[in-house]
Amino acid sequence: MPRVSVIIPTYNSARFIAATLDSVLAQTDQDFEIIVVDDGSTDNTRAVLQPYLDRITYIYQQNSERSAARNNALRRAGGEYVAFLDSDDLWAPEKLERQIAVLEANPQVSLVFSQARYIDENGQPISFCGQTIDGEPGEAVKIADYSIPLLSGNVVAGGGSAAVVRRWMLDEVGQFDLDLVQSEDWDMWVRLAQLGPFAYIPEPLTSYRVYGWKKLLTRQMDEENIQQHLQIVDKNLTGWRGDAQEKQRLRAGAERTATVLAALAAYHLGDTAAGQKYLRRAVAVDAELAKHAGLLWLVVDRAKMIETDTGSYDEALAFIRRMLEGLPEELARVRPSFRRAAGWLYISGAFQEHERGNLPAVRSLLRRGLVAAPGALRNRGVLSMLRKSMLARSQPREVQG
């Protein structure tokens, strides 16, 4: 019996699945089985898999979505542990070895996940959503109770491809929910978190393939996506035994998260009417968003993501202007000025360059930011960064002779 069952649902991923399988077959820990469930692909997936049939279990099913594919694979799986992998993602060679070692050393842990590197369609590392690496940086393995944080959203970096779980715990919490066509892995993680803490390995052991902002944004502003997000939270809050106010706060936090993301996505795509609709819903849940500072940071944080991904402050500034000018009329009175938002965008960039040690860029961005938002000088972090960058500039250069 294999120690690990690797479950790979696939649908029309003929372009990528060979590289995905090769990354599994290259693992340093070879005690595994691979179960590929073809969810009714209409491309040449079957032909691409032909050379691998002696090393995988191949199951074909009529198109029924990922939950059904994963459940189908679980019925055939014989491993003590289960690792999930999307058919366009990749694993580092030591992924299984590292994660199984964590599970065996920590029997209380229900799930272990790793940091994930974003890659594009060609397998090249990219920045996405303002990050080049998904997950919190660090060195030591971190074990924590995720049962509450997961009720606000999926905090498992790298999606399903980063996770390894104990089979008996999957049996305990039940199958993937067939009513969910997306976020089914998040729903499963919420249930698993009730059985034990999660372990996080802060190294990029997974490469998570993304396809640009438009696909993500279109999904985030889709009403069905929002309703499924809330369905997952409501389902998992059923039978809540804690404080009633805490339950209400968690439900409100989940709705805030979903509607804020939808509003930002709509403004990002230039759909002002949808942006206004979702922003009104978010404010109805969290009145703090209607205050000047709340709006300012929503706008600036998304603009910084855009600048990081595109390398263009012009695109980020265009988003700021589009969102501010398109705010609902009832929020216009607390509208932060374009200059102030732009100033904080430059200052956020200065902080990023400061972490990289690029002091000339820090000075340039601070100069532009403080001209637009002079009130930022009251911020201790800004003052400290300004002082350090100016002191470095004034240091005499060593003369080579």
pLDDT digits (tens, 9 = 90+) for 71-91: 999 999 999 999 999 999 999
pLDDT digits (tens, 9 = 90+) for 193-203: 999 999 999 99
Cα radius of gyration (the chain)? 23
Give the tokens for residue 137.
């940086």
pLDDT value of residue 392: 67
pLDDT digits (tens, 9 = 90+) for 19-69: 999 999 999 999 999 999 999 999 999 999 999 999 999 999 999 989 999
Q: What whole-number percentage of the chain has pLDDT above 70?
A: 97
pLDDT digits (tens, 9 = 90+) for 227-261: 999 999 999 898 787 888 889 999 999 999 999 99
Residues 6+ away with beta carbon under 8 Å from 138: 202
pLDDT > 70? residue 398: no
Range in 2-6, 212-216, 309-313 with the lowest mean pLDDT: 212-216
pLDDT > 80? residue 268: yes
Average pLDDT, the chain: 92
Q: Where are the chain's structural domains? A: 4-211, 213-301+314-336, 337-401
Q: In whole angstroms, what is the distance from residue 211 CA to residue 384 CA?
A: 38
pLDDT > 50? residue 70: yes
Under 8 Å between Cβ of 12 and 25: no
Higher per-residue confidence, 319 vs 182 = 319
Higher per-residue confidence, 393 vs 210 = 210
pLDDT digits (tens, 9 = 90+) for 164-213: 999 999 999 999 999 988 889 999 999 999 999 999 999 999 999 998 88
pLDDT value of residue 135: 66
Domain range 4-211, CATH class: alpha beta
pLDDT > 90? residue 159: no
pLDDT value of residue 399: 45
Mean pLDDT of the region 329-351 = 91
Q: In whole angstroms, what is the distance from residue 129 CA to residue 307 CA?
A: 10
pLDDT band for 157, please (50, 70, 90 cuts). Answer: confident
pLDDT > 70? residue 266: yes
Neighbours of 332 (CB within 10 A): 10
pLDDT > 50? residue 306: yes
